[in-house]
Amino acid sequence: MTRSSSAETASTTTRQALIRARFDGAQGYDGAATLQRVAARALAGDLDRALAERAHTPLRVLEVGCGTGFLTEQLCALWPQAHILATDYAPGMLARVTARLGARVDVHLMDAANPDVSGPFDVICGSLVLQWLDDPATALKQLAGLLAPDGVLAVSTLRAGTFAEWQKACALEGQVPATPDYPDMPELSRWVPYPCQGMWRAERCVQAFGTGLDFVRHLKKTGADMPRAGAAGMGAGALRRVAARFEKSGAAVTWELAYGCFRRPPRAGVFVTGTDTGVGKTLVSACLVRRWQAPYWKPLQSGLEDEEGDTPTVARLAAGNALHGPGVRCFPPAGAYQASLSPEAAARAEGVLIDPALLALPMDEPAQPLVVEGAGGLMVPVTEEIMMVDLAQRWGLPVVLVARSGLGTLNHTLLSLEALRARGIAVAGVVLNGPPNPENSRTIAHKGRVRILAEIPHEAHIDGATVEELSQRLPSWPEIAAV
């Protein structure tokens, strides 16, 4: 370890100790923590809705940064049968949770940035704790790793714009505010822990105070008066001037809140989709099946009057030499239609309607990666109400997006990535199909904030040997799962 890194570690440790001491000494916390109650109720509501959508009752719940138990109390009411483990970095806070809820919950002293508990948990949550961590994105990734399949991670934090009124008063008095720098929504969008699906939502709360010094006392009572790292505190005279200026503007502060709710995939696997029909989804699917020795599922197949269908094609191409193995396991389509139309139109042409209830993700051997291939692109209709992208969201698997490498791909690929992220769908990466085009590859990676998984060249003849060779260009399953 270098001298500078040793100093940084010591500084971080000292700061953590100061944060712990402030929260341990926050005796007026429950009476002052109005915003903390609001955030806890809102986060509990998000959790309740997320679990109700899947009719899933959690059995193991982990809470980080429990404080005095505002959210913990909500969790107990939501899931009376669940085992709840409430953790906090401050021993004094854990003592108060125990006093509030008794034996209903177990408590554990733990730094949310370095979890030392064993999963899996059906729910992991924490209200207004991320802003106290040095690397929130890494902490979220570590916590997501403790989720059970289909488990939910839900957190709240403060975002940019919080304390704007106080910061303005400081600037008008020539002072540099010591309030922390909070992330904006674009930065928060990069904190979504892969391979979880989900997104952040924003909320704003305004809290009025009698005087400027009342606001300062409020921060102290809630343990939140810790200045940002490297910031110098104001002298008493400067603090009084800033407080007076703050009172003239109304003595109210805005709390900018962000709530994130993220779902771990229900099983191992990917959803393969494309920017268009005929971009090479089936070839890429066959390569992934071959690379990972994975089962395959094409939920909806149309166009059987013109071709054999993707399921037998993948089975043939990915099998290799079937004499030396069991071949490819393919789950049968939920719907197969003759016309070369969208699934909705092809089914209607045969006088039938697609039943969404039949489109349930196969759950056999859930630890083994499953390759699911969509029909057409993301906005292809499945029913009057459901598009292919809606199924991707329902299934919860990270997406492999297949795109052409040449002219026209930038618009289609970037729009597809935007559609996925607008629904909080995790993206494993992009596969470019066709002649090498380094400029398009670089642009998609940079503008789309995505990994290029592979570039598949044009092949005049595709057979099992070709798929075997091309499959080696793609990442292994552990490399996909751990991005």
Q: How sure is the predictor about 7, in pLDDT bands with cuts at 50, 70 and 90?
A: very low
The C-alpha atoms of residue 470 and residue 83 are separated, in whole angstroms, by: 48
The C-alpha atoms of residue 83 and residue 101 are separated, in whole angstroms, by: 13
The C-alpha atoms of residue 147 and residue 117 are separated, in whole angstroms, by: 12
Phi, psi (5° rounding) for residue 164?
-60, -35
Is there a catalytic annotation at residue 447? no
**In terms of pLDDT, which residue wins out, 30 or 132?**
132
How far apart, in Å, do the first and last CA atoms of the chain sit? 27
The pLDDT, as a whole number, for residue 119 is 87
pLDDT above 90: percentage of residues in the chain: 73
> Which H or E run contains 258?
strand 252-263
Cα angle value 133/138/139 (rounded, 5°): 50
Beta pairing partners, 453: none
414 exposure class (CB count in 10 Å sphere: 0-12, 13-18, 19+): middle
- Reduced to 3 states (helix: H, G, I; strand: E, B; else coil), residue 87 is strand
Token code pair at residue 123:
């729910």
**In terms of pLDDT, which residue wins out, 31 or 173?**
173
Half-sphere exposure for 137 (CA within 13 Å, toward CB) = 8
Rg of the chain over CA atoms, in angstroms? 26
Name the residue type at position 472.
Q
Q: Which residues contact 396 (CB under 8 A, 6 or more apart)?
A: 150, 197, 263, 264, 265, 266, 361
The C-alpha atoms of residue 189 and residue 423 are separated, in whole angstroms, by: 12
299 exposure class (CB count in 10 Å sphere: 0-12, 13-18, 19+): buried
Name the residue type at position 390.
D
The C-alpha atoms of residue 310 and residue 299 are separated, in whole angstroms, by: 10
The C-alpha atoms of residue 226 and residue 220 are separated, in whole angstroms, by: 8
The two most distant CA atoms of the chain are separated, in Å, by 86
153-172 tens-digit pLDDT: 999 999 999 999 999 999 99
Name the residue type at position 372.
V
Token code pair at residue 325:
């193995």
What 8-state DSSP symbol labels residue 233?
Answer: P
The C-alpha atoms of residue 357 and residue 82 are separated, in whole angstroms, by: 29
246-291 tens-digit pLDDT: 999 899 999 999 999 999 999 999 999 999 888 999 999 999 999 9
Cα angle value 255/64/201 (rounded, 5°): 40
Q: Which residues contact 411 (CB under 8 A, 6 or more apart)?
A: none
126 exposure class (CB count in 10 Å sphere: 0-12, 13-18, 19+): buried
Least confident of 6-20, 242-256, 285-299, 363-377: 6-20
Q: Does the structure show a pLDDT above 80 at 5? A: no
53-91 tens-digit pLDDT: 777 789 999 999 999 899 999 999 999 999 999 999 989
Q: Decide: 257 and 207 in contact? Cβ < 8 Å.
A: no
Q: Is the pTM of this model over 0.85?
A: yes
The C-alpha atoms of residue 437 and residue 440 are separated, in whole angstroms, by: 6
The C-alpha atoms of residue 393 and residue 398 are separated, in whole angstroms, by: 9
